[in-house]
Chain A
Amino acid sequence: MSLATSKAVAHAFDVEAVRAEFPGLHQEVHGSPLVYLENAATTQKPRAVIAAVERFYLRDTSNIHRGVHTLAERATATYEGARRTVARFLGAAAPEEVVFTRGTTEAINLVARSFVRPRLAPGDEVLVTWMEHHANIVPWQIVCGEAGATLRALPIDDRGVLDLDALDRALERGGERVRLVALGHISNALGTVNPVREVARRAHARGVPVLVDGAQAVPHMPVDVAALGCDFYAFSSHKVFGPSGIGVLWGRPEHLVGMPPMLGGGDMIRSVSFEGTTYADPPNRFEAGTPNIEGAAGLAAALDFLAGLDREAVRVHEEALVAHAAEELGRIPGVTLVGTAPERAAIVSFTVRGIHPHDVGTMLDGRGIAIRAGHHCAQPVMQRFGLPATARASFALYNTHGEVEALAAAVRHAQGVFGV
């Protein structure tokens, strides 16, 4: 990209205009303007999302699929319309490839329970990486434990980069016993962007399917499941500016069609008698009970909001924020950045010598700055770096360079108070 083009893109992204769409950002905390750097945990909501949820409650409240009255038709149209929006957003071939779940965690559990578990025999293996969130570890541990199979973690280096040679070795050594590779698109603890397309290529060369935990990626980069070449892709609405309590599992139709349901109930059947039940086709087979209809409406509004922005300009803006934060924090004596992979996004994890991460978090909160302190639900990667916890600043499209400077100033202030 030429300098002129790059400037044009930077100019095209008006962060103040974006911030104006997020009412939650405009408040004071402990007398200071809120600086919200907790976006890897959850995101603030734009007006469009709030309005979509409100519209459902004010006008369209009804159950879906079975009613013949007008409100039921509207609710069904809202819900199934959201499925089409998600399919379009992910580059899925058809809306039927999109299963609504409660979130990323349930999506991964569904694949563990209904896709992997029936295939697992004693001695089989599931591969993950050392940098996974607990949501992409524990479901595999559960089914591996039941089947007498083994969960193997692929190593990462000191920067937080996945060792692809170790993947090759594990695939070769495991052979046909490897039933799945599961990895995060972006590490929630380190910010590493994993080469999922390359992982999928290598795994597929040996006939092994790949699940991608996209919870941290969807808000930050365009995702095209066809281009990635994965078999399953999971994400949560609330991390991409939508409501909590709903998420998505995208799956290849040839996988979904063979999967048994995880939950039984209404809306997932074709016919029921006491002699037996015939299940509905995907995706309904996996959506027993009344779903989160207003959540789907909000999620669709969030994805439309994001799609209406210049995503390349968003990416450039966020990349600049992360680089700025790494530079500002990195030059403070006593601050160590954790996770320095060349391909990183949205997340800066760090420690401050002489101040426990929880004290860093409390001190920053005193100046209105929200960050996360702890193990980030990724204890193995903390163990890998020999740390009980880190402080983590995580960015979204509405953050500013002024906020990065406030973060660095607050860390210096904490050092002053603690005398370190």
Chain B
Amino acid sequence: MNTHAQHADHVHHDPVGAKTGMWLFLFTELLLFGGLFIIYAVYRSQYTSDFHHAAGDLNVWMGVTNTVVLLTSSLTMVLAVGALQRRNGGLAQFYLTSTMFLAGTFLLIKLFEWSAKFSHHLYPGSEHLNSLPNGEGLFFNLYFMMTGLHGIHVIIGLVVMAVVNNRIQNGTVTADNQGILEYTGLYWHLVDLVWIFLLPLFYLTN
């Protein structure tokens, strides 16, 4: 119980418990996106040619660029965690800020992509979308739904990263208390993981 005495004046830390909790949360996220993947799988099997045709309207290169942006942001995120564990808070902040910058870049590209679709009167509930063949309409609705839900996750990640960055700055998150950065990292990699699957499902289906 040596540990207890030394930590008596601190908040009780339970890294394994905390990490288990974070993973359980990530599983619920996985099942949330998983539900949408199931809907996608069913309708793609029913409207295969419509899906292929509709996917041709998406810009492959925007999707690929965003994949590279997100993968890079995942790298800077693990580097941030590593830097803090090696007690280099400044470097950790640099990497974390880079991650935030890349997350912003991702959203910006997404914004261009969506506005291009909107300007072609292609958005959920639009007359044009409703006039498309069944399968194509489903494809675009799923596209907006899934990339939209993913985008919300990116925005949440951005906010959380800003908070963590601030806490590293004021010294509440340190090498000895780096859990929150590590869990933010786990969340961010999950966001990346989901995108890895969205790329072939929507952009590379043509």
Genuine A/B complex = no
Query: Which residues of B does A touch, CB under 8 Å?
Result: none
Residues of A at the B interface (CB closer than 8 Å) are none
